[in-house]
A and B are shown apart, each in its own frame.
Chain A
Amino acid sequence: AQSVAQPEDQVNVAEGNPLTVKCTYSVSGNPYLFWYVQYPNRGLQFLLKYITGDNLVKGSYGFEAEFNKSQTSFHLKKPSALVSDSALYFCAVRDRDGNNRLAFGKGNQVVVIP
């Protein structure tokens, strides 16, 4: 069964500094990988996905993520964090069979300090 680990509960970063949110996954075969962001009392918003091809994926709001097959990781990055990036971030994975089920990590709270 597929699974995701997001090892840190909270990530604190100063505004303007680089932001990294870590994600490792477990899946049989090649994965589809996704990052979502959630603001308080809202649904999840899609940020970016890795399907195939270039290991560096660029997404919305200046975010990017790097797929590393040997380390089974898909860390989310942003070169310069904004206060408005403070939110809950979820990594998700699914395998390539036909059931379209996602496995989500428990989420990381990001706090950007002005």
Chain B
Amino acid sequence: DGGITQSPKYLFRKEGQNVTLSCEQNLNHDAMYWYRQDPGQGLRLIYYSQIVNDFQKGDIAEGYSVSREKKESFPLTVTSAQKNPTAFYLCASTRLGNQPQHFGDGTRLSIL
């Protein structure tokens, strides 16, 4: 079945460590997005990409980095500069235009 796969489902980060969250889609979607979800705050956009080898900062990009080397993949790295990384991270993708975004099942990141 077509969809978006996020891995791992749970991830733990030590102080000073960078960690990478995986997001893969087989929907042939052009655009991909990373969101952070904290209780009571809705979804906040970290980074997005509308085409391979190009991406833009969202509203809370500090302490995060991304790459888009392949259409189907959009990994997110949470760097040691992100001082409060504990959150639920959601990846989404969509065709360009007025189509809805499709979401993966998220990665929950916690600090050890």
Binding site for B on A (CB under 8 A): 9, 32, 34, 36, 41-46, 49, 51, 90, 98-102, 104-107
The count of chain B contact residues (Cβ–Cβ below 8 Å) is 27
Contact A104 B43 (CB under 8 A): yes
Which chain A residue has the least Cβ–Cβ distance from B42? A106
CB within 8 Å for A46 and B106 given contacts A100-B31, A101-B45, A105-B42? no
Q: Is B48 an interface residue (CB 8 A)?
A: yes
Interface of A is mostly: loop
Interface centre among A36, A41, A44, A90 (most CB of B within 10 A): A44
Contact partner, A100, options B6, B42, B48, B103, Cβ 8 Å: B48
Mind listing 10 A-B residue pairs with CB under 8 Å? A42-B105, A43-B6, A43-B103, A43-B105, A44-B43, A44-B90, A101-B45, A101-B58, A106-B42, A107-B40
Question: Which 3 A-B pairs rank lowest in CB-CB distance, beginning with the nearest?
Answer: A43-B103, A106-B42, A46-B100
**CA of A42 to CA of B48, assembled, Å:** 20
Which residue of chain B is the closest to A6 with respect to CB atoms?
B42
A43 touches B104 (CB 8 A): yes
Given contacts A90-B43, A107-B40, 5 further A-B contacts (CB under 8 A): A41-B106, A46-B101, A90-B42, A100-B50, A101-B48
Which of A41, A45, A101 meets B103, CB within 8 Å? A45
Residue A43 contacts which of B42, B48, B58, B90 (CB distance < 8 angstroms)? B90
A67 to chain B minimum Cβ distance, whole angstroms, is: 14
Task: List A contacts of B88 (CB < 8 A).
Answer: 41
- Contact A41/B45 with A51-B98, A106-B40 known, Cβ cut-off 8 Å: no
Which residues of the partner chain B approach A106 to less than 8 Å between Cβ atoms?
40-42
Chain A residues with CB under 8 Å of B58's CB are 101
Check if B102 is an interface residue, CB within 8 A of chain A: yes
A46 to B27, CA, bound (A): 15
Confirm or deny: B71 has a beta carbon within 8 angstroms of a beta carbon on chain A. no
Q: Are B94 and A100 in contact (CB under 8 A)?
A: yes
With a cutoff of 8 Å between Cβ atoms, the chain B residues found around residue A42 in the complex are 105-106
